[in-house]
Amino acid sequence: MKRVAILISGGGSNMVRLVEDMIGDHPARPVLVLANNPSAGGLAKAAAMGIATAVVDHRDFKGDREGFEKALISAIDPFEPDILALAGFMRILTPVFVGHYAERMINIHPSLLPKYRGLHTHARALEAGDDEAGCTVHEVTAELDDGPILGQARVPVKAGDTPDTLSARVLVQEHKLYPMALRRFASGDKSPILLG
């Protein structure tokens, strides 16, 4: 049984979906939900589901990314995770951290990578006049929002869409794709999933 640590920064809706899926014949179980923000709403949700939680507040490490990441590792490693799932974890991680968990870390990103790495993905898709948008689950490498793609889900861009309306439709697909991709990754299958 694989052990999964989930890293969040906010409300944790993807984290909840991952945890809800990790039951029964699933090849993994959640062992930790960690946030870089002590007021992240997902912490209370994780605790209510009986999962250990931890906080490493990035604001305690002003300008010291190395110190922040050492504290993250110190909080995570006692749980002996086989997989780290980034679920809205809004911190850029250095090659040292990524290397520590090499080939064990996955992320979900709200665009059809390689398009729109980084932030404001929905606004950028609308500004570009794209006719579709979506989300991507990928292995984490030292390059931002890069790494082998484990799955993508597509949604049409509709007339009159705003970043918020597009984001809401993409989030529905994130909640479907990420649990499927984690289940497959935890079983050792890295073949990509395509939805939509």
pLDDT per residue as tens digits for the range 45-73: 999 999 999 999 999 999 899 999 999 99
Whether 92 and 116 map to the same domain: the answer is: no
Q: Residue 179: which pLDDT band, with cuts at 50, 70 and 90?
A: very high
Two structure tokens written together for 63 = 């300008």
CA 129 → CA 156, 158, 161, distances in Å? 12, 11, 11
- pLDDT at position 196 over 90: no
Task: Give how many domains the chain has, as a whole number.
Answer: 2
pLDDT per residue as tens digits for the range 112-132: 999 999 999 999 999 999 999
d(CA 93, CA 111): 19
Choosing from 102, 127, 148, the residue where a domain stops is 102
The reported pTM is 0.97
Choosing from 102, 132, 150, the residue where a domain stops is 102
Tell me the mean pLDDT in the region 101-111: 98
Tell me the mean pLDDT in the region 95-115: 97
Active-site annotation holder among 109, 122, 138, 175: 109
Q: What radius of gyration, in Å, describes the C-alpha atoms of the chain?
A: 16
Tell me the mean pLDDT in the region 136-141: 98
pLDDT per residue as tens digits for the range 6-48: 999 999 999 999 999 999 999 999 999 999 999 999 999 999 9
100 is catalytic: no
CA 39 → CA 32, 73, 133, 172, 178, distances in Å? 17, 20, 30, 24, 24
